[in-house]
Amino acid sequence: MVIHSNFPDFVLFLYVHMAFADESMHGSEEEVILTKMTKLFPGETDLKAKFEEAAAAYKKLDRQTVMTIIKETFKHFDQVKFAQKYKIYTDMYDIVNADGKIEESEKHALENLKAIIDLNAESKKA
């Protein structure tokens, strides 16, 4: 299930996913995401509205659907370089660490994301 037509929108989805990994988004996580969005969407005039729209859409999805979207969308954007995908992974770490602590659920979400990135890298080598 691919719901994003461009990679930056998918990255924003991942940012939101990571922020909600512990079931709530802290203000500091939102700030980090908004800062990162300036590079993702340089022409966007209302980043806050775009962020809120993405967060609202995310909240409507169940966990299994979210994981399916992530797996299938990484496959869909197979032209994106491995290094860029890993940069996203490091961004995720910044987001979960924004509130000064990393919950077990956030660690799990990071591990899942890393596994998906690694799996896609392996499938491209085959």
Could you give all domains of the chain from N- to C-terminal order, each with its CATH number?
7-125 (1.10.3680.10)
Question: With a cut of 70, which residues of the chain have pLDDT below it?
Answer: 119-126
pLDDT tens-digit profile of 109-119? 899 888 887 76
Q: Name the nearest CA neighbour of 113 among 78, 89, 87.
A: 89
pLDDT of residue 49: 97
Residue 16's contacts (CB-CB under 8 Å, 6 or more residues apart) are: 25, 33, 51, 54, 55, 58
pTM of the prediction?
0.89
pLDDT of residue 126: 47
